[in-house]
Amino acid sequence: MGATAITYESPFESMSDGKWIRDRKWDLTFISLSVVLVTVPYLIWLFMRDVIRVDSDASRQAVNLMIAILIGGPHMYATFTRTALDQGFRNKYRGFVRSSIIIPLMVITLALTNLTLLLTIFFFWASIHVLHQIIYVVESYNEKAKVAPTKTSLTPLSKLIDYAVVLTALYPIAAYRIAVSQDFSIGPSKLNEIIPSIFEQPWVFYLASAVFIIALLAFIGKSIYEYRNGIAHLPKIIFITFTVAASFIVPSLGNLDTAFQGMNVWHSFQYLALTWFINNLRQERGELDNQPVLEKISEDGKSRMFYGFNVLLTLGAGLIIGLVFAILYFLVGGKWSSPGFALETAYYIGVLSFLWIHYYHDHFLFTQTESVLP
């Protein structure tokens, strides 16, 4: 009698089959395990400050500049390969694209009149944007689960628990620093000075903590139940787990500006990968025909070219920052006669003008979770 080969499928394989956004290696590399990047900016800042003895504020600004050039800027301009630089999008959403001009006008006004308010709006909008991308990734996994060969729990309650835990993880410690210790500062700006006093009460911390703990316990219980019943979506659970851990810990670090840059690096790394992947799908469907630059950088094997294209756009924006600096320092004068202050103001004008347009466009793009499907 011949031997019969018996193969066993692991729970990981059976509950993740076909549910990755692209595939297991790609998702773990660019979406989930890339969480290690959160530590990089803070470690570089500590090294510059404590080992090579660079001034703390100078180290902070150096880290910000490095991140802006290498990944923050490229991820920001990658958005425009799906919006302003895409002829099809411009034709379909002409009014939406034109309305973007309002944003740099607002940034310039605030940068010149109330830099602290500008940075406060930036922090809260940035946190909303990061959370919106997290929800987008979660929903992308849900879209993949709908067409996967294995069952997944996609009930309204299951999705609500996923949303709750990722949307609340960032706020318990942040609320403590706003309401209790009152040391919530981003760079030189002490945001407690302009936060309404109603939010500087202990109840804000207690409420944020209670909501997060309830959401976390519900997520843990839901995940255990789904795993035991063979309906868990393990790629999504992995992503949410790392996201919650990073979001909860980062606000506890001393230098919040550099700490949040860690979240920005991870967020930007994910974003560049997702945007190239979506553009690659669009290129394969012929949606980028007659747009030679976008079509070329979106082809298979051209991800490095895509990244290089966005780095060039980032460097080009540096010319705008230089021009604004020259205007403030040489023509306007006053408080901008200080080179450091003029440069920081010019930096925020040049960076936040495009960054907020990126936020604005992404709030629309993040509603299109079906874009990850072939």
Q: Read off the pLDDT of residues 193-228 as tens digits, 9 standing for 90 and up.
A: 666 677 678 888 999 999 999 999 999 999 999 999
Percent of the chain at pLDDT > 90 equals: 59
Query: Among the ranges 38-42, 49-53, 189-193, which has the highest mean pLDDT value?
Result: 38-42
Residue of 362, 363, 371 whose CA lies nearest to 80: 362
Task: HSE, CB side, 13 Å, CA atoms: give it for residue 235.
Answer: 31
Q: What is the pLDDT of residue 135?
A: 95
Which pair of tokens denotes residue 186? 């981003």
Q: What is the pLDDT of residues 343-360, one digit of tens each?
A: 888 888 998 999 999 999
What is the longest distance spanned by two Cα atoms in the chain? 95
Mean pLDDT of 49-56: 88
Percent of the chain at pLDDT > 70 equals: 93
Q: What is the pLDDT of residue 7?
A: 41
Q: What one-character DSSP code corresponds to residue 22? A: S
C-alpha distances in Å from residue 368, one per residue of 133, 275, 359, 364, 371: 12, 12, 15, 8, 6
Which pair of tokens denotes residue 175? 């609320």
pTM of the model: 0.89
Q: What is the pLDDT of residue 353?
A: 94
Q: What is the pLDDT of residue 194?
A: 63
Cβ contacts of 271 within 8 Å, gap of 6 or more? 75, 78, 133
Average pLDDT, rounded, for the chain: 88
H or E, element range at 219? helix 202-228
Q: What is the pLDDT of residue 276?
A: 97
Mean pLDDT of 295-316: 94
For residue 288, pLDDT beyond 60:
yes
Q: What is the pLDDT of residue 4?
A: 43
For residue 57, pLDDT beyond 80:
yes
For residue 13, pLDDT beyond 90:
no
DSSP string for 67-133: HIIIIIHHHHHHGGGTTTT-HHHHHHTHHHHHGGGHHHHHHHHHHHH-HHHHHHHHHHHHHHHHHHH
Residue 328 or 95, more confident:
95
pLDDT tier, 45 (very low <50, low <70, confident <90, very high otherwise): very high
